């Protein structure tokens, strides 16, 4: 359906978008729609799971379950800004990739002119600089993703330690 819509674009729309952009939008939009349907039930399911988990925890460890809730909220509050930074880095990485790919495509299309004017070195240097910029954003995106992964895997340990520590301190 999305592909058919892409084929029915008017000539004005085709002039305003490069075919690469249309294909990119179609691929990304399909992925977003697929992700939306996958996570749709989290809206109602997550609060229910949290309530049930806290009820079971309260039955077992008593008032120490409040410390669990606070530790969970702290984990979430720490993760949100880091995830926003990761999203920003990812956006800048994609913009750098698009710019580099566009420039590479332009160089390849105009290779004859580049050779005749002896501009290969200038073009190569420009592409190398673009790769360096893209690599810097890629490195930042990977480091922030590694930190998010660390937070993701260490949060349960943190919550567990807070829960049991509070339970022991309260004499449970």
Domain boundaries, the chain: 1-40, 44-169
Mean pLDDT of 87-105: 88
pLDDT at 32: 77
Q: Give the C-alpha separation, 36 to 11, whole Å.
A: 31
pLDDT band, very low/low/confident/very high, at 111 (cuts 50, 70, 90): confident
Other C-beta atoms lying within 10 Å of the C-beta of residue 93: 20
Mean pLDDT of 69-97: 92
The pLDDT of residue 114 is above 80:
no
Mean pLDDT of 81-103: 90
For the ranges 4-8, 40-44, 138-142, 150-154, the lowest mean pLDDT is seen at 4-8
Q: What is the pLDDT of residues 12-39, one digit of tens each?
A: 665 666 666 666 666 667 777 777 887 8
Contacts of 114 (CB under 8 A, 6+ apart): 107, 120, 123
pLDDT band, very low/low/confident/very high, at 66 (cuts 50, 70, 90): very high
pLDDT at 77: 94
Q: Give the C-alpha separation, 122 to 62, whole Å.
A: 70
The pLDDT of residue 84 is above 90:
yes
Closest CA to 102 of 91, 114, 110: 110
Tokens of 156: 């349960």
Q: What is the 3-state secondary structure (H, E, C) of 61-128?
A: HCCHHHHHHHHHHHHHHHHHHHHHHHHHHHHHHHHHHHHHHHHHHHHHHCHHHHHHHCCHHHHHHHHH
pLDDT at 28: 67
Q: In this structure, are residues 170 and 63 in contact, taking their beta carbons and an 8 Å threshold?
A: yes
Mean pLDDT of 67-94: 92
């Amino acid at each position: 359906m999305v592909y058919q819509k892409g084929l029915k674009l008017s000539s004005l729309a085709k002039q305003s978008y490069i075919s690469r952009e249309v294909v990119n939008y179609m691929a990304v939009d399909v992925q977003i729609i697929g992700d939306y349907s996958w996570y749709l039930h989290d809206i109602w399911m997550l609060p229910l799971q949290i309530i049930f988990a806290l009820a079971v925890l309260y039955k077992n460890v008593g008032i120490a379950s409040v410390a669990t809730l606070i530790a969970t909220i702290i984990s979430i509050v720490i993760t949100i800004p880091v995830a926003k930074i990761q999203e920003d880095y990812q956006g800048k990485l994609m913009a750098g990739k698009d710019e580099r790919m566009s420039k590479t495509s332009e160089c390849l299309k105009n290779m004859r002119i580049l050779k005749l004017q002896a501009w290969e070195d200038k073009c190569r240097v420009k592409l190398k600089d673009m790769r360096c910029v893209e690599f810097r954003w890629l490195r930042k995106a990977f480091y922030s993703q590694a930190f998010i992964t660390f937070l993701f895997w260490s949060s349960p340990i943190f919550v567990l330690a807070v829960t049991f520590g509070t339970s022991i301190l309260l004499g449970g």
